[in-house]
Amino acid sequence: MTETETINPTMQREAVIDEIHRAAERLRGIVNVTPIMTSRTLNHLTGFEVYLKCENFQRMGAFKFRGAYNALSSLSPEQKRKGVVTHSSGNHAQAVALAGQLLGIKTTIVMPNNAPKVKVEATRQYGGTIVMCKPTQRAREETCNQLIQDHGYTLIHPYDNINVIQGAATAVKELFEQVGNLDAVIAPVGGGGLISGTAIYAKETGKSTHVFAAEPQNADDAYRSLRKGSIVPQDAPNTIADGLRTGLSELTFRFIQQYVDDIMLVSEQEILETMEFLWTRMKIVVEPSGAVSVAAIRKLQIQKGSKVGIIVSGGNVDLQNYFSSLSRQVHK
């Protein structure tokens, strides 16, 4: 499939699944098979049998590595020789830089000047050449387009790329292999790459009856788009879940319309409370975007006792202030 194609209902389901299986083969031995974690307390609080797919333990700390490596490894020899460019506030930036390092491909990353410092530094350490821009979608795209014009780079879009989506889908494929079929799956939605891949694989294989997206209330463009039936542009999102501030593409929106049952919204307070629970009770470091899908389970309206899988998308948190505080105490 090309980047502009959706999955036609008449297309053989085997062909759709095969595309994702081929992505899984490319990633075999490269990506981490991330663990499943459970909590009796979480099960008691929600009334569900909950399985967390912890992509915070993925290489570079997020599911994004799956899609980036699949996309870069699928390029032609000439594209690999010239190099790639992308725009990202953090996790996709790190993923493309690391994938490029492993594959010997030059990577240039356009990052907004308000991107988290921890993600900027990690991207640089993975070998990416960083070009800063103003923190707007227009600035990101214009900067990328100029770099493509000047150097002939190939754009590896964070989510508007079928190879990125198919790579992301391998996370839920692993989830089913680890715990079996599920009554429902929840994944966060920002640009829509992860929820698209998750929903496509879950529904086309019949391994989950329901697929839900989770989104911050303060960045609810996907929620409003699904209800309107057309894309509502993201407008000045004000959420701590920085990885979910992006807007949908036409490609991911069509997948959401076709495969996602509903989108559940969570407040900033709910995101913080969920992060605290995951850190203190389950001892796993999860970033705000990664906590959104777990926070949404309180809104889930399906039969109690159901088996629910949740994609925890990442764990890249800037802990510099925390450790600086500890350092000051040590050196008093």
Which residues are annotated as catalytic? 64, 89
Cβ burial, residue 85 (10 Å; 0-12/13-18/19+): buried
Locate tokens 């039969």: which residue?
303
Concatenating the DSSP letter of every residue in 70-99 gives HHHHTS-HHHHHH-EEEE-SSHHHHHHHHH
Q: Tell me if 297 sits within 8 A of 311, measured CB to CB.
A: no
Give me the phi and psi of 112, to 5 degrees please: -65, 150
161 alpha-carbon distance from chain centroid: 13
Q: What share of the chain is helix, strand, coil (3-state, %, to 5)?
A: 50, 15, 30
Of the candidates 130, 236, 248, the residue with the CA atom closest to the CA atom of residue 193: 248
Cβ burial, residue 30 (10 Å; 0-12/13-18/19+): middle
Of the candidates 310, 308, 53, the residue with the CA atom closest to the CA atom of residue 181: 308
**Separation CA 234–CA 288 (nearest Å):** 19
Cβ burial, residue 229 (10 Å; 0-12/13-18/19+): exposed
